[in-house]
Amino acid sequence: MKDVQINKIAVVGTGVIGNGWIARALAQGFDVIATDPAEGAEDRMREAVDRAWPSLTKSGLAPTASRERLTFTSDIETAVEDADLIQENVPEREELKRKVLQTIDTFAKKDAIIASSTSGIKPTVLQQDCMYPERVIVAHPFNPVYILPLVEIVGGEKTNSSVLERAVAIYEKLNMKPLVIRHEIEGHVADRLMEALWREALHLVNDGIATTEEVDAAIIYGAGLRWAQMGPFLTFHLAGGDQGMRHMLGQFGPALKLPWTKLEAPELTEELKEKVIQGCEQQAGNTSIAELEEKRNEFLVRLLDLVEEYRTESESIS
């Protein structure tokens, strides 16, 4: 892994996502400088950091963490000029993001990494107006940014691969799980998955099949419990009995033709089957399905106790 020397992080745009980055970076012991042109932005930012701080304290602050290491300036040039990482979080409009990234690119140090939090725009699109596009990436976090570990790292056509490596090391220092996406697509990977579920949920409400509360209940009492510990592929690997995903695809493959969602499935070719089966077997590694099951069960029993304390659903679903 690259040696990454990083002292100062600049955060451009202090909405929900920007403020989440600020709180996370402070908690991990970095100097942070933030900028936002909106009136009252600094006050809202400091309030947001204060609201996040108790959770961050419970998670464990870095020894050098301090809210006093946060400064604010309404001047973007001042904010970015000596930062090692610049995280952009302006509203999700392509032309605006491109303009802001161009400004950042002009004033940032040559070896600074410039990362956009964009949910859906490709880095190749975002970096095209920059003089030094090789250090421009997407680093897409998830709300609440100061707690959830996932960050998708995506390079554009002009991004240097060594920059991606440095970025991974930096986000690991921010106590995150960087997931490098090798092929840029709109919505990256996580939002593709969430957006599919979200659009299906909107169809169900639109068609009068279920209320928002019923849709939420259909997730939190079932799949949502599993997905905190195990993703959809490994979950189905375990649903296939001792033969795992191979049995599963044999048995439920035909269901891909059924109208169980408004989304058309890909053709289940031999090639796709093998990709999926071998992917799951590799994920399981040397752990047997019985052992995976035992671990999952222990987890679920403890998770059910935990969610019981924190459920927000009303009791009216049945």
Site residues for a copy of itself, 91-150, by CB under 8 A, read 91-92, 119-120, 142-144, 147-150
Give the contacts of 44 (CB within 8 A, at least 6 positions apart): 14, 19
Is residue 61 a contact residue for a copy of itself (CB under 8 A)? Answer: no
Measured from the CB of residue 169, what is the shortest distance to a copy of itself in angstroms? 9
Is residue 204 a contact residue for a copy of itself (CB under 8 A)? Answer: yes
> Which residue of 7, 64, 229, 288 would you call a contact of a copy of itself, by CB under 8 A?
229
Task: Report how far apart the first and last C-alpha atoms of the chain are (Å, whole number).
Answer: 52
Is residue 221 a contact residue for a copy of itself (CB under 8 A)? Answer: yes
Measured from the CB of residue 77, what is the shortest distance to a copy of itself in angstroms? 28
> Which residue of 256, 257, 288, 289 would you call a contact of a copy of itself, by CB under 8 A?
256
Question: Containing H/E element for 70?
Answer: strand 70-73
Neighbours of 83 (CB within 10 A): 25
Is residue 257 a contact residue for a copy of itself (CB under 8 A)? Answer: no
Return d(Cα 193, Cα 188) in angstroms, integer: 9
Which residues inside 3-42 make contact with a copy of itself, applying CB under 8 A? 15-16
Q: Which residue has the tokens 């052992």?
A: 291
Question: Containing H/E element for 100?
Answer: helix 94-107
Tokens for 26, please give them: 């402070």
Task: Give how far Cα 264 sits from Cα of 24, 57, 164, 197, 231, Å.
Answer: 39, 45, 34, 13, 21
Is residue 288 a contact residue for a copy of itself (CB under 8 A)? Answer: no
Nearest residue to 128 via CA among 184, 79, 70: 184
Which CB sits closer to a copy of itself, 34 or 52?
52
Is residue 43 a contact residue for a copy of itself (CB under 8 A)? Answer: no
Which residues inside 157-186 make contact with a copy of itself, applying CB under 8 A? 168, 172, 177-183, 185-186
Which CB sits closer to a copy of itself, 11 or 33?
11
Question: Does 18 carry a binding-site annotation?
Answer: yes
Q: What is the DSSP letter of 266?
A: P
Question: Containing H/E element for 25?
Answer: helix 16-27
Which CB sits closer to a copy of itself, 7 or 59?
59
Which CB sits closer to a copy of itself, 34 or 217?
217
Q: What is the DSSP letter of 223?
A: I
Question: Does 17 carry a binding-site annotation?
Answer: yes
Is residue 213 a contact residue for a copy of itself (CB under 8 A)? Answer: yes
The binding site consists of 13-18
The binding site for NAD(+) consists of 13-18
